Amino acid sequence: MVQEFKMTLENDDVSDVTSLLAKTKVAQVNLISFKGKSLKLNTAADAEEICNAIKDSKDMQALCLEGNTVGVDAAKAIAEVLSKRPEFERALWSDMFTGRVRSEIPPAMEALSDAVITSNARLVELDLSDNAFGPDGVKACVKLLTSTACYSLKALRFNNNGLGVGGGKLLSKALLDCHQSSSDAGKPLALEVFISGRNRLENPGAKALSEAFKVIGTLVEVQMPQNGIQHEGIAALADAMASNVNLKILNLNDNIFTEKGATAMAKVILQLPNIEVINFGDCLVKTQGAKILAEELAKGANNLKELNLSFDEINKEGAMTVVAAVENKEFLEKLDLNGNCLGDEGIEELKAALDTQGQLAKLGSLSDDEGDEDDDEDEDIDEICAQNESEEENESEGEEKKDLSLKVEGISIKPQSPLLGDDKELQQELQKECSTEDVQNFIKKPTSQMFNCFPTKIRAQLLKDALQDDFKDADKVAHHFVKVSVGLMNDTYAINTCTDAILGTALSTTSIQEGNLANSILVYLGFLKSEDKIQPVKDLSGPLAALLHAAKQDYFTKSLASYFIVFMSRPSKVLEQYSTQRHSLLQALYQV
């Protein structure tokens, strides 16, 4: 058992000890903590240490069970002693069901909830984060959330619970019911902190919770990162935030704003005079969205301390409008514009502007900048044009000289390939000069050099023809897809072409099972283990780039995307070195 006493001082700007003591507010919290002890509590006997600690405490405001695993019988034993503690205020119960099957969690939660209600306690904090209980777990909490025990609730944390849309709706209804009941009792629910990240709430869940937020109206901190919320859900949240004028912290990182969502949020910024932290990083705000937000930020948000618009595909022009918007923000402590598309010149201009404003020290790292987006596009276009011009010149020379020998080895084209048109003479010459050997060699050991030896107009068809017998086999398709993307990792154009030829063909023209295909790809990438002891690839940059391209194509379905979202969203040491690619891929997957 660990007991902690916390004391906070307010208004300490005084000239002497006497006035300091007179203005001091003391808040004592008696905490019983078993945090991180990795206790496996299956039976009542297993929970005896915790039960005794609760019994022996004269005054227990908080109980922390984080980092242990509590079974049903153990929960009932703890509940029995907890039911006798009316002074109980803080249920710090995150990550306490590790390794439990989902069916165990609801009855355990119900036992603990009933105990809190029976004790006549008045909770101020309920933390159930990192418990993977899904909608069923929320159902088990509804009785507690709508009881008198939660009329006094100030902080509610449901982070990383796998709530989904259904869980979000259940949670919203519970909050609305609690607010109604507490209002009828004369003191409306005045929730201040709501945290619910990594829960796949999506638009319906976000819209449902927005209804509750709008009614509650007392929120100070809202954090809902990584929930797959698109602009419709963002707009609903923005509307709800306008009713919470005391809001200080708003974190919607890693959702999908686009310009529409940014516009909706911009409209309410001036209605949030106390806002201190805005985190819209990884939200696809883009340049135009950044400009719209900056325009409103410049007019208000005078208490702003932190602004995060990282990894938002913002170019130099958009970033400079943001810099101008924070010029007069005297309390600003951090500006994060990392992972955007500024380019070297843009970075220098941005730093110079901030230096002039006396705010350069507040700028975060720009180490993951994606470079000048326009320059990259121009280079790509120039390269493609040069290739096309070269091909056209070769074709013209062939027509003038009546010489159709292409001097390219290892090309195989089917007699009726639609890419050849009606030129039978050209078709015959190509058939005469080419074989399947080099295409097969490319498949066995793919390189950009070999890929570029194939005529531009027929590269995809060559690959389709060579792999036609494999497209119905999920494992073979996955093997070819991963192997080719690894071999072409530094050639975006080649990766995109081959991805469409392999994945696109398999998904569009066959009845291949998406689940089997996704599982096989995840095996080759090292996210799933295989009975065949398949050796995963060592470098994921090529496959991640290929998946990013595929996720933006019509052949890539929402159900297929869901498989990859699960694994891309999990904490992973392997993916740490690919953070930028991972963020981009997740954003694309959420938009499928």
Whether residue 45 contacts residue 26, with contact meaning beta carbons closer than 8 Å, is answered with: no
- Where residue 568 sits, what CATH number does that domain have? 1.25.40.200
For the chain, give the mean pLDDT.
Answer: 85
Q: What is the pLDDT of residue 455?
A: 79
Query: Does 135 fall in a domain?
Result: no
Domain endpoint, select from 320, 338, 365: 365
Among 17-21, 172-176, 436-440, which is the least confidently predicted range? 17-21
Q: What is the pLDDT of residue 134?
A: 84
Query: Does 337 fall in a domain?
Result: yes
Do 251 and 355 sit in the same domain of this protein?
Answer: yes
Do 543 and 438 sit in the same domain of this protein?
Answer: yes
Domain range for 279 is 230-365
Average pLDDT on 368-393 reads 50
Q: Band the pLDDT of 376: cuts 50, 70, 90.
A: very low
Q: Which of 88-92, 199-203, 526-530, 554-558 has the highest mean pLDDT?
A: 88-92
Torsion of CA 51, 55, 58, 60, to 10 degrees: 30
Do 587 and 441 sit in the same domain of this protein?
Answer: yes
Q: Is the pLDDT of residue 557 over 60?
A: yes
The helix or strand, by DSSP H or E, that contains position 92, with its residue range, turns out to be: strand 90-92
**Distance (Å, whole) CA 74 – CA 70:** 6
Which has more confidence, 442 or 408?
Answer: 442
* 249-251/277-279 β-pairing: parallel
Amino acid in position 144: L
Average pLDDT on 554-558 reads 92
Amino acid in position 91: A
- Where residue 250 sits, what CATH number does that domain have? 3.80.10.10
Q: What is the pLDDT of residue 407?
A: 35
Domain endpoint, select from 365, 393, 424: 365
Domain endpoint, select from 317, 339, 365: 365
Query: Does 220 fall in a domain?
Result: no
Do 443 and 587 sit in the same domain of this protein?
Answer: yes
Q: Band the pLDDT of 156: cuts 50, 70, 90.
A: very high
Who's near 41: CB < 8 A, 6+ residues apart? 47, 50, 68, 69, 70, 71, 74, 75
Among 100-109, 138-147, 319-328, which is the least confidently predicted range? 100-109
- Tens digits of per-residue pLDDT, 4-21? 433 333 344 434 434 443
Query: Does 259 fall in a domain?
Result: yes
Q: What is the pLDDT of residue 414?
A: 40
Do 449 and 577 sit in the same domain of this protein?
Answer: yes
Do 240 and 354 sit in the same domain of this protein?
Answer: yes
Nearest CA to 105 out of 68, 131, 85, 143 is that of 131
Which has more confidence, 57 or 428?
Answer: 57
Which has more confidence, 254 or 142?
Answer: 142
Q: What is the pLDDT of residue 200?
A: 86
Strands (E), 239-339: 249-251, 277-279, 306-308, 334-336
Do 466 and 333 sit in the same domain of this protein?
Answer: no
Q: What is the pLDDT of residue 587?
A: 85
Do 447 and 300 sit in the same domain of this protein?
Answer: no
Who's near 387: CB < 8 A, 6+ residues apart? 456
Q: How many domains does the chain have?
A: 2
Q: What is the pLDDT of residue 268?
A: 97
